[in-house]
Amino acid sequence: MKTELQGEVTLASRVQSRHRDMINVSAVYYNLCSHYGNLNWWPASSPYEVIVGAVLTQNTAWGNVEKAIANFTYDMPLSPELVEIISTEELINIIRPAGFFNQKAMYLKAVTTWYKQYDYDVETVKRQSLPALRKELLAVKGIGEETADSILLYAFGFPTFVIDAYTRRLLTRLGYANIPKKYDDVKTIFETELPLDAELYNNYHACIVINAKEHCKSKPKCDGCPLSGVCDTFVQIKANDIKSYLAEILDDKRYKHTLAVCDTAVNLAQRHGVDTQKAFLAALLHDCARGLDTEQLINYCDEHNIQLDDYMRNDINPVHAFVGADMAKQCFGINDIDILNAISRHAIGCEEMTLLDKVILVADATEPTRKGCDVDDARLAAGISLDKALPLAMRIKSRYLEGRPMHPSSVKMLEKYMYGGRQIAN
Ligand code: SF4
């Protein structure tokens, strides 16, 4: 069993803290909409059917609502005029599949009476003000905030954001701390950040619901979720899986080194404005192939079509970085190209390093278990400038070469960051 480093818990909470004061609901929508597109909600053939659906869906699955609505027949088509004149008993029989039919029949009668004051006319309703309509609806028996907003948004096209249990669950899992208890306060988070746009609110809520059904279920199914790149829960779940694996395959010293690199990488990421979740995952996985011996590394490269250059055919050390990036993708479902690049570049670097690449390479060379004056110098430099720390870090990582030439990519990197592109003798 490997020992856990002190401070690991605080590290996890620091990674999470990225979101504590930042509710970037626009970025969440961008990810959702890029994946799901325009869902054209609500699934109904008339505004009145939306009203009925919004009432019937309370405390039941949508499939039961569809069964109830299908009970309105050709002779008795769903319309406010019909619901107005049929008896409560007849209505109960029709909507029975939706459950809680006694209450819901009462609610449908009540909301239909509300609609009648506008002559069952959508345009007449639309001429009223949103606050006034919302107040009226909330006074109707059985119409709560979520139902009122669903009706106003999806039946009449008013820009009012719908908050439901899926929305709260999603915000919690994304890592947003202190989600307000009051419905209106959560709604304000969205409406403050987003433009007042009914079409946007319509599709945003639809995407949340669909994502909750496909991925963010009560037990999350994170693989393939479009929000995995911005989700704290994803990182936690992955981190636990990865840690269990690393604890098995790495020796104690290497495992401690990995956790120390995570801590250092998160610190550097915070200091230099780099995504801390990406830094954490890249750091955690940077040495995941270190458990493989030379023969296993070469076999892995053959089987996964990883090309070794002449240098790496003579020095196997940098190969773990390329194999590690591939394992991160194949074994741990990490698809983020920034993370994969940072893993593959951490050993020898390259000329065009991203900020995340630099964070991982520098963290690898300067984490607290590394000792030496050159490490202290690199640590000091890293606090000020990643570009200044990078060449120092590469020198530290190349100690094992004992004077033998560095990989050509490392030389190029040193030329760029140490000598402004001028060639150096290796
Ligand atoms: S990554 Fe997982 S926990 Fe996060 S939103 Fe997606 S399904 Fe939910």
Residue 13 pLDDT exceeds 70: no
DSSP SS3 for 402: coil
Residue 12 pLDDT exceeds 50: no
DSSP SS3 for 169: helix
DSSP string computed for 291-328 = TS-HHHHHHHHHHTTPPP-HHHHH--TTHHHHHHHHHH
Closest CA to 228 of 194, 277, 269, 273: 277
Residue type, 225: C
For ligand 1, atom 1, the nearest C-alpha belongs to: 228
Is the Cα dihedral 280, 281, 282, 288 positive or negative?
positive
Name which of 21-30, 58-67, 303-312, 342-351 the model is least confident about: 21-30
Distance CA 389, CA 379 (A): 7
Identify the burial level of 349 via C-beta atoms within 10 angstroms of its C-beta, where 0-12 means exposed, 13-18 middle and 19 or more buried: buried
Measured from CB, residues less than 6 Å from any atom of ligand 1 are: 170, 173, 215-216, 220-222, 225, 227-228, 231, 233-234
DSSP SS3 for 405: coil
Main-chain dihedrals φ then ψ at residue 290, nearest 5 degrees? -70, -15
Residue 202 pLDDT exceeds 50: yes
Q: How far is the CA of 195 from the centre of ligand 1 (A)?
A: 25
Two tokens, residue 17 = 């803290």
Calculate mean pLDDT across residues 78-105: 97
What pLDDT score was predicted for residue 422? 65
What pLDDT score was predicted for residue 421? 61
| Closest ligand 1 atom to 173 CA | 3
Residue 313 pLDDT exceeds 80: yes
Ligand 1 pocket mutation, candidates 36, 171, 222, 236, criterion most atoms within 8 A of CB: 222
What pLDDT score was predicted for residue 72? 95
| Closest ligand 1 atom to 233 CA | 3
Distance CA 259, CA 243 (A): 9
Residue 173 CB neighbours (<10 A): 19
Per-residue pLDDT tens digits for 150-194: 999 999 999 999 999 999 999 999 988 788 999 999 999 999 999
For residue 253, the 8-state DSSP code is H
Answer for the pair 42, 210: CB distance below 8 angstroms, yes or no: no
Distance CA 259, CA 97 (A): 54
Residue 119 pLDDT exceeds 90: yes
In the chain, what are the domains? 23-214 (1.10.340.30), 232-419 (1.10.3210.10)
Calculate mean pLDDT across residues 114-127: 98
Give all strands (DSSP E) within 336-418, no chain letters: none
Q: Name the pLDDT band for 4 (thresholds 50, 70, 90).
A: very low
